[in-house]
Amino acid sequence: MQADIYIGESSEIYDAIIIGSGITGGWAAKEFCERGFNTLMIERGRVVEHRKDYITEGKGPWEYPDRTKVNNLLEAEQYHIQKNSYAFSDTTKHFFGNDRDLPFTTEQGKPFHWIRGNQLGGKSLTWHRQAYRMSDYDFNANKADGHGNDWPIRNKDLETWYSYVEKHVGISGSKENLPQLPDSEYLPPFEMTSPEKLFTKRISEQFDDRKFIIGRAAHLSVPAPHHTAQGRIQCQARNECQKGCSFGAYFSTQSSTLPDAVKTNRLSIAANSVVHSLIYDETTNRVKGVRVIDNENLTTREYYAKVVFLCASTLGSTQILLNTKTKRFPNGLANSSGVLGHYLMDHNFGAGAYGKMEGFEDEYHSGRRPTGLYMPNFRYEPSRYSKKYLRGFAFGTGIQRENWKSIGYQPGVGADFKEKLTKPGAWSFSLYAQGEMLPRFENHVSLHKTKTDKWGIPQLHIDCSWSDNERLMMDDAAEIAVDMFKKAGLTDVGSYTSYRDKPPGLAIHEVGTARMGANPKESVVNRYNQAHDIPNLFITDGASFCSTGTQNPSLTFMALTVRAVDYYVNELKNQRI
Amino acid sequence: MSKVVTDTQKGNHINNDARRAFLQQALGAVCVTASASILSGCSLEVADEFAATPTKPSSDTTLFSEPQMTTLFAIVDTILPRTDTPSASDVNCHGFVQNQLTRCHTAEQQASTVAIVNQINQVSTANHKKPFALLDKQQQNALLQDLEAKRGFSDEDAQHFSFLKALVVFGYFTSEAGATKALTYQAVPGGFKGSIPANAQTKSWGSLDYY
């Protein structure tokens, strides 16, 4: 990338400022630049260049001093929160925030694991790449059962934008015509293994309302010409994505949105720029720009623009708004409703089951598929709810032949045992739930009254916990998983619940805290992600969500963002903004 | 074990020379008693893979005394002996266990692993009047099988051994020889195939998603 796109001080008034460079920020930059806007992308962390900065890519485990494990002292001192993420290891830790530098507080007895990715590309480098549309059942859920506020949008508002981003991103998947999980625009799906095919068949035979499909993932199973033109090639099935992928085979800011934005020559990037707050003009009721503290030398600077898009992650965006206090908005910018910071949600992964399928000793697979089987939520409307709780859950899976990692715990020593460790073992199945979390006012974030971080910014205080609804759902999900495994003929079946040990945050699907709504008195942004209070301020990341659904949220972040840019551009063209 | 805890907490930097000298002495002694051809597996280059980098804290990796390391050496090779592929000690699993315990595991896990190594040697001495390292292969196998079956050992002993064994297995199959020689390694598979034939000779993939 040409060096001159990285800027320091600037007095220019940009057409648009985008705060954040992850999945939403990257999309906002691409859209604004391609529509002719001089755009400034602000990133609090360092620059990560595609390919060049994927420093651990392709290394074998023996090339790490601790064989991919992270030194316990380093974890204790600098990664005591991040270490809880499934994707955190010595191979990926440079793409995770450093907890020593990024302190936050939680309410007594209510831990929250805030997983951070503060670098150019944000968490688009480390995301799990599962990509699902939300359905009208999801958008209607709050209205249907009276929890949370009604989403002001439905599928018809988003479907063209979903299609638009999907074609560019490249989503592998299969058309299924499921009412609760609308189809996307697809590249060919990844193959199932033979035991997976049999399992899927048996479940469909026994349960009218349940179907396992291949997980839809933002991977180039077969690249389209426009992917190849960007230097992206077919997924090589390494499944080491969180280290970065020089093949550009999965969607990230670096592989997909940033190259298009850069190509226009209209993008500037201010890296190492920690946004302290927004600059608000009381007389015009517009934001004028942002106040920034340098990540490294702590000096301050300002950037100016005609519109500001907050794409700083759910809690990052809300923290910036809360820290922008003005005469009109003493409790945080664009917070006339008082709901800013409230209705924080995440997905609950706190239950699952495991088992084995006999046979198929003559079957194996080649390559490491970057997705698994997925069962969409079958409790997607009140008439299908359990009597014990509201809403539902999806299931993800891990299905493979056992290897030394589990066989090593079986009894045995000596040459025969060693031989056994080198051979593929039984086909082992696991299911894990991904449950919806109800929107609740009391799950909220605020600014700590006294504690600040090294940039002098008040620390975020998080007060969030599972409710009985989430706990009862997970208890049920464990039972349902076992029942399905048994009916599918699996053996050695067992289940677990882990929600007691796994606080919210770990799904890294945190959403809410600046929710959208039709009523300005009870929501922060309108149906176009535009702040009700301030016309040239948009919040297009997960903060704007009204409910979680059961789907991984990133695809919806993308669709909301491009739709918001389109809306702003039209409003500007028609001089309504 | 309080010394270990204190050193770990203080994050003492490794004294490379001292460690090198220790390993030379400890491993050298064992190599001589075992067999000359093992010497290549005692290479300090392998041990140096475990050295901390200056950008991150390190801890004192001297967890096992010289006699304990001798016992551990024999234990790892009883678990994974040399066959047509290297043994555990050939790829320095004993050094790996010490490194990994002190750098990536808790003080409790360190203490319980040292304790089970001592316990194995004590039982050997009591039953055979010889340290574990000097038993013949059948005796070594039998003793560890007794341990797993809790014959003359407690539940807790068996748990501690299970942890140690899993650590040895991890160390072996994440070593270059373990991952690429004992197993089949695909750095860049080139795509995913859901069904390929397998038979009794098919080796597991040594290239895994997460380790």
pLDDT tens digits, A393-438:
999 999 999 999 999 999 999 999 999 999 999 999 999 999 999 9
Q: How many CB atoms lie within 10 A of CB B55?
A: 6
Question: Is the pLDDT assigned to residue A220 strictly greater than 90?
Answer: yes
pLDDT at B46 over 50: no
d(CA B1, CA B23) in angstroms, rounded, equals 20
List CB contacts (< 8 A) between B78 and chain A: 413-414
CB neighbourhood size of A537 (10 A): 25
* pLDDT exceeds 60 at position A372: yes
| Residue B33 scores a pLDDT above 50 | no
Q: Which residues of B touch A361 (CB under 8 A)?
A: 198
- CA A17 to CA A387: how far, in whole Å? 48
> Is there a contact between B198 and A72 if contact means CB atoms under 8 Å apart?
no
Answer for the pair A241, A250: CB distance below 8 angstroms, yes or no: yes
Contact A377, A392 (CB under 8 A): yes
**Closest Cα in chain B, distance from residue A199 (Å):** 14
From chain A residues 2-21, the ones with a CB under 8 A of any chain B CB are none
Q: Cβ contact (<8 Å) for B103 and A66? A: yes
- Helices A468-487 and A194-206, packing angle to 10 deg: 110
The 10s digit of each residue's pLDDT in A120-157 is 999 999 999 999 999 999 999 999 999 999 999 999 99
Asked if residue B185 has pLDDT above 60, the reply is yes
By CA distance, what is B86's nearest residue in A?
Answer: A418
Residues in A closer than 8 angstroms to B149, CB to CB, are 411
A77 contact residues in B (CB cutoff 8 A): 57
Check if the beta carbon of residue A119 is closer than 8 Å to that of residue A100.
Answer: no
Comparing CB atoms, the residue among A89, A409, A418 nearest residue B162 is A409
On the question of pLDDT at A248 being above 90, the answer is: yes
Q: What ipTM does the predicted assembly reach?
A: 0.94
The one-character DSSP state at B205 is B
Q: Do B204 and A423 touch (CB under 8 A)?
A: yes
**Beta-ladder partners of A511:** A345
Give the integer Cα–Cα distance in Å for A309 and B151.
68
Q: Which of A253, A219, A255, A217 is nearest to A236 (CA)?
A: A219
- E strands, chain B, are 193-197
CA A74 from centroid of its chain's CA atoms: 26
Is the alpha carbon torsion for B114, B117, B120, B123 positive or negative? negative
Contact A234 B191 (CB under 8 A): yes
Q: How far is B122 from chain A, CA to nearest CA, in Å?
A: 20
Mutate to test the interface with B, among A98, A240, A413, A421 (most CBs of B within 10 A): A413
Interface test with A, best of B43, B103, B147, B210 (most A CBs within 10 A): B210
pLDDT confidence band for B155 (50 / 70 / 90): very high
* pLDDT band, very low/low/confident/very high, at B60 (cuts 50, 70, 90): low
**Which residues in chain A have Cβ-Cβ distances shorter than 8 Å to B204?**
401, 403-404, 421-424
Band of the pLDDT at A3, cuts 50, 70, 90? low
In whole angstroms, give the CA distance from residue A214 to residue A204: 14
- Residues A64-78, mean pLDDT to the nearest whole number: 94
Domains of chain A, first to last: 1-50+61-138+250-347+441-465+510-577 (3.50.50.60)
Q: What's the pLDDT score for residue A577?
A: 86
Q: How confident is the model at residue B61 (pLDDT cuts 50, 70, 90)?
A: low
- Close Cβ partners of A131 (under 8 Å, ≥ 6 residues apart): A166, A169, A171, A173, A184, A216, A217, A218, A552, A554, A555
A 389-428 residues with CB < 8 A to B? 401, 403-405, 408-409, 411-415, 417-419, 421-424
* pLDDT of B49 over the 90 cut: no
| Confidence tier at B211 by pLDDT (50, 70, 90) | confident
| DSSP labels, A294-360 | ETTT--EEEEEES-EEE-S-HHHHHHHHHT---SS-TTSTT-TTS-TTB--B--B--EEEEEEE---
Average pLDDT over residues A215-242: 98
Contact yes or no for B192 and A61 at CB 8 A: no
Is there a contact between A72 and B103 if contact means CB atoms under 8 Å apart? yes
What average pLDDT is seen over chain A?
97
**A208 φ/ψ angles, rounded to the nearest 5 degrees:** -65, -30
Q: Give yes or no for residue B44 having a pLDDT over 70.
A: no
Does residue A291 sit in helix, strand or coil? Answer: strand
For A188, counting Cβ atoms within 10 Å of its Cβ (0-12 exposed, 13-18 middle, 19+ buried), the class is exposed
The predicted-structure confidence for A482-528, as pLDDT tens digits, reads as follows 999 999 999 999 999 999 999 999 999 999 999 999 999 999 999 99
Whole-number Å distance between alpha carbons of A431 and A354: 6
From chain B, the residues in CB contact with A362 under 8 A are 197-199
Give the model's pLDDT for residue B62.
Answer: 86
Nearest CB among B52, B104, B145 relative to A72 is that of B104
Residues of B in contact with A61 (CB under 8 A): 174, 179, 211
Question: Whose CA is closest to A397, among A434, A378, A372?
Answer: A372
Contacts with B141 from chain A: Cβ below 8 Å: 413-414
Per-domain residue ranges of chain B: 7-49, 66-181
Q: Can you tell me the distance from the alpha carbon of A196 to that of A427, in angstroms, rounded to the nearest whole number?
A: 10
**Within its chain, how far is the Cα of A79 from the centroid?**
20
Distances (CA, A) of A210 to A179, A281, A489: 12, 53, 16
Kindly tell me if the per-residue pLDDT of B32 is higher than 80.
no
> Can you give the pLDDT at residue A1?
56
Q: What is the pLDDT of residues B67-93, one digit of tens each?
A: 999 999 999 999 999 999 999 999 999
